[in-house]
Amino acid sequence: MVLEILSYARAIGRSVIKSLFDAGYSANAGLNLLMREGAGYRRQDFLADWRELVSTAQKETFFSSMPDYVRPTRAMMTPKAFPVGEKYTYTFRVNLYDPKTGTLFEDQNYSISTDRILAVGEAEEELQDRLSEEQYEGLEYTAGLLTSVKRRE
């Protein structure tokens, strides 16, 4: 029961960390705010989550300005939280359009995994290939932005 309560507090904390960072809070101020609101969050866990999520937000700017032929360096990659699956995971924020209903699905997260480092252009081509498969038939890919690359340790 106690573990369930702690995991709920951590899930809530992780969901607001990026908002706190965008609002200009430091890690300590963000933790103090959550504690005042009644979220029981272990300091060490909060700071680890803060570093992971804020560094990911800061690294998005690297990928948005990189030329297509450049391969991300290890310094630009974030270690996977759970080291399973393929060696590298490329996460995109994509916009999809459904011409049948006229609906635009904005800021959808989509990941592709591979065992070799891809250049930004290669990762985008792989994304378009995977989105054109049967499960996304009928949806048109309109835009995509590489937001993070994670590596298995």
User: Is residue 19 in a domain?
Assistant: yes
Contact 131, 141 (CB under 8 A): yes
- Give pLDDT tens digits for 70-108: 777 777 777 766 666 778 888 888 888 888 888 888 878
- Give pLDDT tens digits for 49-73: 888 777 765 666 667 767 777 777 7
In sequence order, which ranges of 2-102 are alpha helices (DSSP H)? 2-22, 27-36, 43-64
Query: Among 90, 61, 68, which Cα is nearest to 77's?
Result: 90
* β-pair type (88-98, 103-114): antiparallel
User: Is residue 143 in a domain?
Assistant: yes
Q: Provide the number of structural domains found in the chain.
A: 2
Tell whether 93 and 147 lie within a shared domain. Answer: yes
Tell whether 19 and 56 lie within a shared domain. Answer: yes
pTM here is: 0.58
Q: Which residue, of 10, 38, 60, is where some domain finishes?
A: 60
As a whole number of angstroms, the distance between CA 44 and CA 29 comes to 14
User: Is residue 67 in a domain?
Assistant: no
Tell whether 25 and 91 lie within a shared domain. Answer: no
Tell whether 87 and 40 lie within a shared domain. Answer: no
User: Is residue 14 in a domain?
Assistant: yes
CA atoms 74, 76, 77, 79: torsion sign: positive
User: Is residue 22 in a domain?
Assistant: yes
As a whole number of angstroms, the distance between CA 89 and CA 68 comes to 17
Domain that holds residue 8: 2-60
Tell whether 31 and 83 lie within a shared domain. Answer: no
